[in-house]
């Protein structure tokens, strides 16, 4: 409390002294001019060519459209030997996987720091989530605590990989194997995790769910994938999805379908097909950009990466960072982060706050049964985390240097800006 009091009186003293009007939020010129940064999915003419190939095919849907089959084959090859089925979305892929394993038990163990789209399918499948806190340095589910939760009524573990991170969770995977609990990996943000990333081998998992939506690496619109070694799970995609017309083209109506119609969008598939050819270069450039940016801003006090940007296995969908508010003279909680985000955004840096609440708060079916207080690591990250987007090509080293210049400008100005943080805090 004392700290807050001195913070407040300091702040009012400073506000009399100087207000830094060079920062863009208070009228200065932004470091990055509008239009300078290319926003993902980085549209280009080649995408029009891909879309035209669907029009020329004369067929705008079908799960066995040649373009979809080609894409499935190419992704299978890129993954290094998994079987692949394209579906309507990443969420659909998670649902198909959970639906397949739902008879093994009634619960799914998953992280409290999670994407609602990953967790929603747990209830859709008639299952209940058990939430686990995260490891603060990875933002992935805590390996040891999760391993201790595999009771006999647990059907599966849903391991969500965020921002391009790889959640290896070796203890959890071993414990799940020993107990016959299904391992489902949500790699919607970490496409690289479908390849050999554990000393050259694949993750020990039963199924990987991938998204091809416009914000993800394949930047394709609306699309998802189920990747597995289990041929019955591949068949299960059609059982959950197809109501009419079998995969081989026969005009039938399935007697058993669950009827979700999770068909892949063929237009999106055409774009994903094009992008997959250049995926290795894309990943390389994302990693290089994040690494370079961190080299430029890593010495700033009170700033930390969520995971090691020099790890060449991660997929770096975005570059996630954390603020350490106390180190910057701010009270704990989200205020420092929220204020710094506004300052950086005004300078033209594409920084964003991700979710601000644990995932159960977003889901009416499970809200109320769980308390934020039980997930201190997740809460700390949710209060302090943000990410730099637009680290994909064609954005290059020059753009990263502009981002870095804006960070340095804001950090230099921060001591004179503390009085400007929102009233709620100054009054706290
Ligand atoms: C995007 C995403 C999903 C859902 O994918 P959609 O294709 O948008 O349905 C699921 N989980 C995570 C972690 C995601 O980032």
Q: What is the pLDDT of residues 384-409, one digit of tens each?
A: 999 999 999 999 999 999 999 999 99
Q: How far is the CA of 219 from the centre of ligand 1 (A)?
A: 12
Would you say residue 382 has pLDDT above 60? yes
Q: Ligand 1 atom closest to Cα of 213?
A: 7
Buried b (16+ CB within 10 A) or exposed e, 220-246: bbbbbbbbbeeeebbebbbbbbbeebe
Would you say residue 220 has pLDDT above 90? yes
Q: What is the pLDDT of residues 190-215, one digit of tens each?
A: 999 999 999 999 999 999 999 999 99
pLDDT at 19: 61
Question: Considering the chain, what percentage of its residues have pLDDT values greater than 70?
Answer: 92
Is ligand 1 within 6 A of the CB of residue 160?
yes
Q: What are phi and psi of 232, to 5 degrees?
A: -70, -30
Cβ atoms of residues 360 and 120 within 8 Å: no
Q: How far is the CA of 189 from the centre of ligand 1 (A)?
A: 7
Q: What is the pLDDT of residues 306-324, one digit of tens each?
A: 988 998 899 999 999 999 9
pLDDT at 21: 79
Is ligand 1 within 6 A of the CB of residue 264?
no
Contacts of 58 (CB under 8 A, 6+ apart): none
Whether 44 is a known active-site residue: answer no
Model confidence band, residue 70 (pLDDT cutoffs 50, 70, 90): very high
CA 325 to chain centre: 24
**Range scoring the smallest mean pLDDT among 16-20, 28-32, 281-285, 405-409:** 16-20
pLDDT at 241: 85
pLDDT at 423: 53
Is ligand 1 within 6 A of the CB of residue 91?
yes
Q: What is the pLDDT of residues 113-129, one digit of tens each?
A: 999 888 999 999 999 99
Ligand 1 pocket test: pick from 41, 118, 163, 387 the residue with the most ligand atoms within 8 Å of its Cβ: 118
Q: If we measure between CA atoms, which residue out of 22, 25, 79 comes closest to residue 276?
A: 79
Q: If we measure between CA atoms, which residue out of 288, 309, 272, 331 comes closest to residue 387?
A: 309
Is ligand 1 within 6 A of the CB of residue 211?
yes
Q: How far is the CA of 383 from the centre of ligand 1 (A)?
A: 22
What does the block give as tokens for 207? Answer: 């199924």
Q: How far is the CA of 376 from the centre of ligand 1 (A)?
A: 24
pLDDT at 245: 62
Is ligand 1 within 6 A of the CB of residue 110?
no
Question: Exposed, middle or buried by CB within 10 Å (0-12, 13-18, 19+), for 255?
Answer: exposed
Q: Which of these is catalytic: 216, 285, 409, 420? A: 216
Would you say residue 10 has pLDDT above 70? no
Would you say residue 86 has pLDDT above 50? yes
Ligand 1 pocket test: pick from 113, 115, 265, 318 the residue with the most ligand atoms within 8 Å of its Cβ: 115
Residue with tokens 């920062």: 23
Question: Considering the chain, what percentage of its residues have pLDDT values greater than 90?
Answer: 80
> Edge-to-edge strands of the sheet including 224-228?
83-87, 224-228, 207-211, 182-186, 154-160, 107-111, 128-132
343/87 Cα distance (integer angstroms): 40
Model confidence band, residue 257 (pLDDT cutoffs 50, 70, 90): confident
Domains of the chain in start order, with CATH, are 4-41+279-427 (3.90.1150.10), 45-276 (3.40.640.10)
Q: What is the pLDDT of residues 180-192, one digit of tens each?
A: 999 999 999 999 9
Would you say residue 50 has pLDDT above 60? yes
Q: How far is the CA of 151 from the centre of ligand 1 (A)?
A: 27
Buried b (16+ CB within 10 A) or exposed e, 88-122: bbbbbbbbbbbbbbbebbebbbbbbbbbebbbbbb
Which residues are 129's β-sheet partners?
A: 108
Cβ atoms of residues 171 and 147 within 8 Å: yes
Would you say residue 4 has pLDDT above 60? no
Mean pLDDT on 56-76: 96
Mean pLDDT on 334-339: 95
Is ligand 1 within 6 A of the CB of residue 403?
no
Cβ atoms of residues 193 and 185 within 8 Å: yes
Nearest CA to ligand 1 atom 5: 90
Q: Ligand 1 atom closest to Cα of 160?
A: 13
Q: Ligand 1 atom closest to Cα of 114?
A: 13
For residues 25 and 256, the model is more confident at: 25
- Alpha-carbon distance values, 53 to 47, 49, 59, 237, 274 (Å): 10, 6, 10, 26, 11
Q: How far is the CA of 256 from the centre of ligand 1 (A)?
A: 27
Mean pLDDT on 229-242: 92
SS (H, E, C) 328-353: HCCCCCCHHHHHHHHHHHHCCCCEEC
Model confidence band, residue 299 (pLDDT cutoffs 50, 70, 90): very high
Is ligand 1 within 6 A of the CB of residue 117?
yes
Is ligand 1 within 6 A of the CB of residue 87?
no
Is ligand 1 within 6 A of the CB of residue 213?
yes
CA 35 to chain centre: 25
Would you say residue 293 has pLDDT above 60? yes
């Amino acid at each position: 409390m004392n700290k807050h009091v001195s913070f407040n009186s300091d702040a009012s003293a400073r506000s009399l002294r100087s207000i830094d009007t060079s920062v863009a939020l208070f009228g200065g010129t932004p470091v990055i001019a509008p239009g300078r940064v290319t926003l993902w999915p980085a549209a280009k003419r080649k995408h029009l060519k891909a879309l035209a190939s669907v029009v020329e095919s004369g067929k705008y849907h079908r799960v066995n459209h040649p373009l979809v089959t080609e894409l499935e084959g190419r992704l299978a090859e890129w993954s290094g030997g998994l079987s692949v089925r394209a579906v309507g979305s990443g969420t659909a892929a998670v649902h198909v996987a959970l639906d397949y394993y739902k008879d093994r038990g009634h619960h799914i163990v998953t992280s409290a720091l999670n994407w609602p789209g990953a967790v929603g399918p747990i209830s859709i499948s008639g299952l209940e989530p058990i939430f686990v806190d995260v490891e603060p340095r990875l933002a992935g589910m805590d390996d040891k605590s999760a391993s201790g939760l595999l009771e006999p009524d647990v059907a599966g573990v849903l391991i969500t990989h965020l921002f391009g991170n790889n959640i290896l969770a070796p203890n959890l995977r071993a414990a799940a194997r020993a107990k016959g609990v299904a391992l489902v990996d949500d790699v919607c943000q970490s496409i690289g995790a479908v390849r050999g990333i554990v000393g050259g081998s694949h993750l020990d998992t039963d199924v990987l769910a991938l998204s091809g939506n416009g914000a993800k690496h394949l930047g394709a619109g609306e699309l998802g994938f189920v990747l597995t070694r289990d041929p019955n799970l591949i068949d299960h995609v059609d059982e959950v999805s197809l109501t009419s017309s079998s995969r081989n083209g026969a005009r039938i109506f399935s007697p058993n379908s669950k009827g979700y119609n999770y068909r892949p969008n063929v237009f999106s598939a055409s774009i994903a097909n094009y992008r997959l050819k250049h995926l290795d270069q894309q990943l390389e450039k994302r990693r290089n950009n994040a690494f370079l940016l961190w080299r430029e801003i890593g010495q700033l006090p009170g700033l930390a990466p969520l995971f090691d940007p020099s790890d060449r296995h991660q997929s770096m969908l975005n570059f996630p960072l954390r603020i350490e508010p106390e180190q910057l003279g701010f009270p704990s909680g989200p205020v420092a982060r929220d204020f710094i985000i506004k300052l950086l955004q005004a300078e033209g840096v594409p920084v964003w706050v991700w979710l601000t609440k644990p995932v159960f708060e977003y889901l009416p079916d499970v809200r109320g049964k769980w308390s934020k207080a039980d997930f201190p690591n997740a809460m700390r990250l949710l209060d302090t985390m943000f990410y730099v987007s637009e680290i994909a090509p064609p954005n290059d080293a020059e753009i990263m240097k502009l981002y870095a210049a804006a960070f340095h400008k804001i950090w230099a100005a921060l001591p004179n800006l503390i009085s400007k943080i929102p009233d709620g805090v100054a009054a706290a």
